[in-house]
Amino acid sequence: MLGNFSYHNPTKLYFGDDSLKYLREELSNYGKNIQLIYGGGSIKRSGLYDEIVAVLKECGKTIIADAGVMPNPTSEKLVEGAKLARENKVDLLLAVGGGSCCDYAKAVSVSAYCDDDPWEKYYIRFEEPDCEIIPVACVLTMAGTGSEMNGGSVITNHSQKLKIGHVFGDEVMPKFSILNPKYTMTLPKRQMVSGIYDIFNHICEQYFSGEDDNTSDYIAEALMKSVVKSSLIAVDNPEDYEARSNIMWTATWALNTLISRGKETDWMVHMLGQAVGAYTDATHGMTLAAVSLPYYRHIMPYGLKKFARFAVEVWGVNPNGKTDEQVAEEGLSALKSWMKKLGVTLSIGELGADESMIEGIADATIILDGGYKVLDRDEVVAILKESL
Ligand code: NZQ
Ligand code: ZN
């Protein structure tokens, strides 16, 4: 492990099927005005909304409702939410939902008292907040993004056709998150598998980089094996609590910065996927699934040893008598069969992209340099075309 680093994570987690009981105690640390952030209605249908409102009322809180956070929250919605928070002197932003609600809450936290245009400041110029920040907390209903224990906040700007994430610091990360695997049971299967692929890809993005012997890579392999095993159980039986709880916990650890310690990280699948998302508004995990195999096939020769290791350690490929290329290829084939068993999308065409969008998607793709190969624009175009 050759990199130097610090590690700190300020988010307190409550995990398990009784975890909501800690909400009351946590709420006592904040003032009266709670902005209750939720999405398009799943928490009303499941009954979770009523449970949360009952706790807030018992604690004497004033609820400022902020409903209708869409999947892939937009810059317009952010401006509305920031205004609501500012006008109501909100003391805590409580997100109840998936990564979109949680990401949105973080964006509102740094935008309510921001004098500038938050989209321009945080997502175009990547500046850090220099205003008052409202605390954020999360009750998670979808496992995938890791937003419950990180500083990430992804916002989509439809008029500019851009979807961009900003990773904020400790002061924006949720103060606490409540993780009850039972809340994820009402997810439609398509969302469940999309979240599962998101988890797996977060691990890949941090795994496929570096040449040194690094503890982070061993932890990453263990997390990948856990998510593969539990996903196959959950796909057959979504009601399996043990599998769903492993998936939820793995999602948190896949992206709370632990497994990136001492490493460069890649994140190019996310950059490609986010650009596809900016054009199609497709489900996040599906955009990643659709570009992954063409991308990994493309970079495999540059990180061959790691791809061979991935095949052996994660997928159990027997390397005896085979070249590294053969072993690595078998690993990617195993990945593809697993993706097919999950039922994730393998083509950006199925998500609404077409040939005429390729140049625009390539323009919207931010090229990062932490992986095994720094892509040039022609390579981005080639990978996108292969993903169609
Ligand atoms: O809006 P509601 O009605 O709640 O429905 C949601 C939404 O339609 C539904 N859902 C969530 N929990 C449910 C449920 N339906 C039934 N039962 C439940 N228990 O699922 C749909 C998708 O929800 P969403 O929050 O959009 O999904 P996800 O958690 O995948 O979040 C996606 C957003 O997070 C960003 C993505 O780019 C995307 O904008 N990401 C955030 C990251 C971070 N903070 O670090 C990293 C990720 O790579 C990702 O980019
Ligand atoms: Zn992701």
Exposed e or buried b per residue across 103-124, where buried means at least 16 C-beta atoms within 10 angstroms of its C-beta: bbbbbbbbbbebeeebbebbbe
Alpha-carbon dihedral angle through residues 309, 314, 317, 320, given to the nearest 10 degrees: 40
| Residue for token pair 């249908």 | 45
- The closest residue, in CA terms, to atom 36 on ligand 1 is 284
Residues of the chain below pLDDT 50: none
Structure tokens at 353: 């992209």
273 lines ligand 1 (CB under 6 A): no
pLDDT digits (tens, 9 = 90+) for 353-387: 999 999 999 999 999 999 999 999 999 999 999 99
What percentage of the chain exceeds 90 in pLDDT?
Answer: 99
68 lines ligand 1 (CB under 6 A): no
* 145 and 5 Cβ atoms separated by less than 8 Å: no
- 72 CA: nearest ligand 1 atom: 39
Closest ligand to the CA of 192: 1
Closest ligand to the CA of 144: 1
Closest CA to 353 of 362, 342, 341: 362
Give the Cα separation of 79 and 66 in Å (integer).
Answer: 12
- The closest residue, in CA terms, to atom 26 on ligand 1 is 71
Q: Where are the beta strands (DSSP E) in the chain?
A: 12-15, 33-38, 62-66, 92-97, 136-140, 152-157, 162-167, 176-179
174 lines ligand 1 (CB under 6 A): no
- 100 CA: nearest ligand 1 atom: 25
42 lines ligand 1 (CB under 6 A): yes
* 174 and 137 Cβ atoms separated by less than 8 Å: yes
Q: Report CA(168)–ligand 1 centroid distance (Å).
A: 19
pLDDT at position 259, please?
Answer: 97
**132 φ/ψ angles, rounded to the nearest 5 degrees:** -60, 140
Residue type, 77: K
Which string of DSSP letters, residue by residue, matches 362-388? HHHPPP--SSSSPPPHHHHHHHHHHH-
195 lines ligand 1 (CB under 6 A): yes
97 lines ligand 1 (CB under 6 A): yes
- The closest residue, in CA terms, to atom 48 on ligand 1 is 145
- The closest residue, in CA terms, to atom 28 on ligand 1 is 99
184 lines ligand 1 (CB under 6 A): yes
| Residue for token pair 């077409």 | 354
183 lines ligand 1 (CB under 6 A): yes
* 102 and 95 Cβ atoms separated by less than 8 Å: yes
Give the Cα separation of 148 and 354 in Å (integer).
Answer: 34
Structure tokens at 102: 């949680």
Give the Cα separation of 78 and 85 in Å (integer).
Answer: 11
* Residue 335, CB-side half-sphere exposure with 13 Å CA sphere: 27
Q: Report CA(132)–ligand 1 centroid distance (Å).
A: 27
| Residue for token pair 């992954």 | 292
152 lines ligand 1 (CB under 6 A): yes
Question: The pTM is what?
Answer: 0.98
How far from the centroid of its chain's Cα atoms is residue 199's Cα?
7
Q: Report CA(111)–ligand 2 centroid distance (Å).
A: 23
DSSP code, position 145: S
Which string of DSSP letters, residue by residue, matches 33-71? EEEEEE-SSHHHHHSHHHHHHHHHHHTTPEEEEE--PPS
Give the Cα separation of 285 and 193 in Å (integer).
Answer: 8
Q: What residues sit around ligand 2, an ion, with C-beta below 5 angstroms?
A: 198
Q: Report CA(73)–ligand 2 centroid distance (Å).
A: 14
- Domains of the chain are 12-183 (3.40.50.1970), 189-387 (1.20.1090.10)
Give the Cα separation of 21 and 248 in Å (integer).
Answer: 19
- The closest residue, in CA terms, to atom 40 on ligand 1 is 145
Strand partners, 35: 64, 93
Pocket test for ligand 1, best of 75, 100, 182 (most atoms within 8 A of CB): 100
265 lines ligand 1 (CB under 6 A): no
Q: Report CA(88)–ligand 2 centroid distance (Å).
A: 32
* Residue 22, CB-side half-sphere exposure with 13 Å CA sphere: 17
